[in-house]
Amino acid sequence: MKLKRPIIALDFNDAQRTLDFLQNFPQTEKLFVKIGMELYYSAGQDLVKAILEQGHDVFLDLKCHDIPHTVERAMYVLGQLGVSLTTTHANGGHEMLKAAKYGLVEGALKAGKKEPQLLAITQLTSTDERMVKEEQLITVGLEKSVENYAKLAQNAGLDGVVCSGWEANKLREVTGPEFLRVTPGIRLKTDSLGDQKRVMTPDMAAQNGSSAIVVGRSITQAKDPVTAYQAIFELWNQ
């Protein structure tokens, strides 16, 4: 399964700036956009609803992580919004992941909305092998840690994971092609890495088995966001 549209990470902290950015695109262009913690904490549900009303798909990336009951109730609220994707942390464990999925489904049913797909965060793309071993004290290493989290999420009934492109092919082998592998940390060859460590270009991510890519600064900070988006779309789908 592959999502043809690159997901644009709206890395802003202001609702009006976000809506102004979206005005760069033709009204007929229905985008897939990511709202992360910074923007959501600033603008909240009102902005999510406004973007949905424009016909765009929303990936609400809040990375919920708490005790199972708290995550279930939070997901119940998010399930009522009508977003397409949302996230929780795999390292919350099997019971928390199951509770997250249950709450999301119940919330969507309550509101008469389509059930969002739920992704588990494996290891952030800002994490490297040294951090896994020295800070997290995980002895199996980065790749095995990601693989373990992916299988844990699948067994709990989730729809996919967020992972770097470097792990995507292996995860496709162990979880199957329909289990989503959503890859952030996408950069063009001319872009700086910023705070990311495990990055890839769009075409490399496609070749390495990612199901979807999330692109932020390469589009949002471009002089011509529409042209940048189209270039990334073509690289991703070539």
Instruction: Specify the residue for token string 């020295």.
Output: 134
Instruction: Find the catalytic residue in 63, 98, 113, 197.
Output: 63
* Stretch (H or E) spanning 105: helix 94-111
With residue 193 as reference, give the H or E element that holds it. none
- Residue 110 known to be catalytic: no
Cβ atoms of 63 and 92 within 8 Å: the answer is no
What are the structure tokens assigned to 102, written together?
Answer: 């249950």
CA distance 128 to 222: 28
Cα(203)–Cα(130) distance, rounded to whole angstroms? Answer: 27
User: In which element (H, E) is residue 136 found?
Assistant: none
Asked if residue 76 lies in contact with residue 50, where contact means CB atoms within 8 angstroms, the answer is no
What's phi and psi for 81, nearest 5 deg?
-80, -30
> CB–CB of 164/198 below 8 Å?
yes
The answer to whether the CB of 125 falls within 8 A of the CB of 100 is no
Instruction: Measure the CA–CA gap between 8 and 10, rounded to whole angstroms.
Output: 6
- Which residues are the active-site residues? 63
